[in-house]
Amino acid sequence: MFGHSAGGMFAAYALFQRPGAFDKMIIGSPYLQGVRGAVFTAEADHATRAKDLDVTLFLGAGDREVDEYFLAISGIVSSMARFSETLRLREYPSLKLETRIFTGEDHYTVVPRIVSEGIRHLWAEEAAGLLSSWPEPQK
């Protein structure tokens, strides 16, 4: 699953409302503070009833998103960092999480980089064996 901006909020929410529906997700520049922080509430509820989150997840945003007033007050970058940190602190055994902030990118120009790097991260093992130009999976 892929979601960007409000679509990223939806993807993150779906992660906890329907755990297991997707085993690989790319979430870009998500508006996680939307709907009164529903994603953080859903994650906290998930943590009380489940001790694992079996998903490979790639989170990404552009560093210049903090320069755009509306995006800055919406907390795009800061809430994504909080989300990533929260997931890491839960220590979900099956969670494979990669979080990246892309230098020189804003909310709109970052999308192709999120998709490209996300695909490389999510399918690194499969791709390394098929396409010699893909990097070896990080261990």
In a domain, 136, yes or no: no
In a domain, 135, yes or no: no
In a domain, 137, yes or no: no
pLDDT of residue 126: 75
Query: What does the alpha-carbon distance between residue 22 and residue 137 come to, in Å, rounded to a whole number?
Result: 21
pLDDT of residue 129: 65
pLDDT of residue 124: 82
In a domain, 139, yes or no: no
Give pLDDT tens digits along the chain (139 positions): 999 999 999 999 999 999 899 999 999 999 999 889 999 999 999 999 999 999 999 999 999 999 999 988 999 999 999 999 999 999 999 999 999 999 999 999 999 999 999 999 998 877 666 655 656 665 5
pLDDT of residue 136: 63
In a domain, 27, yes or no: yes
In a domain, 17, yes or no: yes
In a domain, 104, yes or no: yes
Instruction: Give me the number of domains the chain comprises.
Output: 1
Q: Report yes or no on whether pTM surpasses 0.85.
A: yes
pLDDT of residue 132: 56
Q: In this structure, what CATH number is given to the domain that contains residue 25?
A: 3.40.50.1820
| Burial category of 61 from C-beta neighbours within 10 Å (exposed 0-12, middle 13-18, buried 19 and up) | buried
Instruction: Name the DSSP letter for residue 3.
Output: E
pLDDT of residue 102: 98
pLDDT of residue 134: 58
In a domain, 99, yes or no: yes
Q: Domain range holding 14?
A: 2-130
Residues sharing a CB contact under 8 Å with residue 114, sequence separation 6 or more, in sequence order: 4, 26, 28, 29, 58, 60, 61, 100, 102
Residue type, position 124, single letter: A
